[in-house]
Amino acid sequence: MESFHDLLSLAIYNLNWSLPTSASALTAHETRTNFRTWLSAVEADLETCKDGFQYAPFEVRNIVLENLDKSTKLVRNSLAIMCKIDDRIKSHEEPSDVDRIRSTKGKQHTGDHREPIWLSLEDKMLLHGSKQTMNPDVIVAADGSGNYTRIIDALNVVPLNSDLRFVIYVKKGIYYENVRVEKEKWNIMMFGDGMDNTIVSGNLSIASGTPTILTATFAAYGKGFIARDMGFQNTARAAMYQAVALLSKSDQSVFYRCSIDAYQDTLYTQSNRQFY
């Protein structure tokens, strides 16, 4: 039930974010793209909820699935309407100067190694700049030389729903914890001392009765999450079945020079815009 509650609350959260967008002018390509992305994420979350009830008692499963089916149909209808509106607008409006520039940039960024158009110049500098130029807000160090010894504690001081980038430096070490970046924790940048030096490690698996989505050693939900020079691992054996090392449902998230190690369902991602 915990995973069901998480997914349903995430779906509601994405729907709430879609509402202001739907009320704004639909002439901006970026606005329409956001709307479609968030609605698609809602649909994906609802489908995952359904999967989680396949082994539930018959009476419970039928009641839940019936209501989820209704919600899914409404979301799909909204998405279809949005796509029709988008097509109609595209066929009648002249692209703005900004859209022309973005379109040109998009053509330049179609290669697998290229960075996405929604990645800002400031964030690119964070990805490619040297550690010496970084100015972290907090430092995590397993040996006690930082502000915190656990990543979880550092995340607790991140402001909610902030448009400002919050930078966390995680020093060399193995951090035995299951980390979750909540959906209200936006625009976090987390960097380490290298994918083989800064490692987040866990061992939860479906064999212990934990739903797949909750086995993740590191889970990112808050939008705009960036990780650099870190390793994520789930050490559960292959015989333990699904055991996620990294789960990301963070929209416009980036994982750069990171390792992701496990056996089954190593990387769990199914919605929103992400770049690896």
Q: What tens-digit pLDDT sequence spans the chain (276 residues)?
A: 555 566 667 666 766 665 554 444 444 667 777 777 777 777 777 777 776 666 667 777 788 778 778 877 887 787 787 777 777 777 766 555 445 444 444 444 444 457 888 899 999 999 999 988 899 999 999 999 999 999 999 999 999 999 999 999 999 999 999 999 999 999 999 999 999 999 999 999 999 888 888 999 999 999 999 999 999 999 999 999 999 999 999 999 999 999 999 999 999 997 889 999
Beta-carbon contacts of residue 7 (< 8 Å; ≥ 6 apart): 45, 46, 48, 49, 52, 213
Backbone phi, then psi, for 19, in 5-degree steps? -60, -50
Return the pLDDT at 145: 97
What domains can be seen in the chain, in order of their start residue? 2-108 (1.20.58), 121-275 (2.160.20.10)
Beta-carbon contacts of residue 15 (< 8 Å; ≥ 6 apart): 38, 42, 75
- Quick one: tokens of 275? 């770049």
Q: Where are the beta strands (DSSP E) in the chain?
A: 138-140, 166-170, 173-176, 179-181, 188-191, 198-202, 218-220, 226-228, 231-234, 246-248, 253-256, 259-261, 267-268, 274-275
Return the pLDDT at 207: 92
Q: Rounded distance, CA 86 to CA 84, Å?
A: 5
**pTM of the entire structure?**
0.77
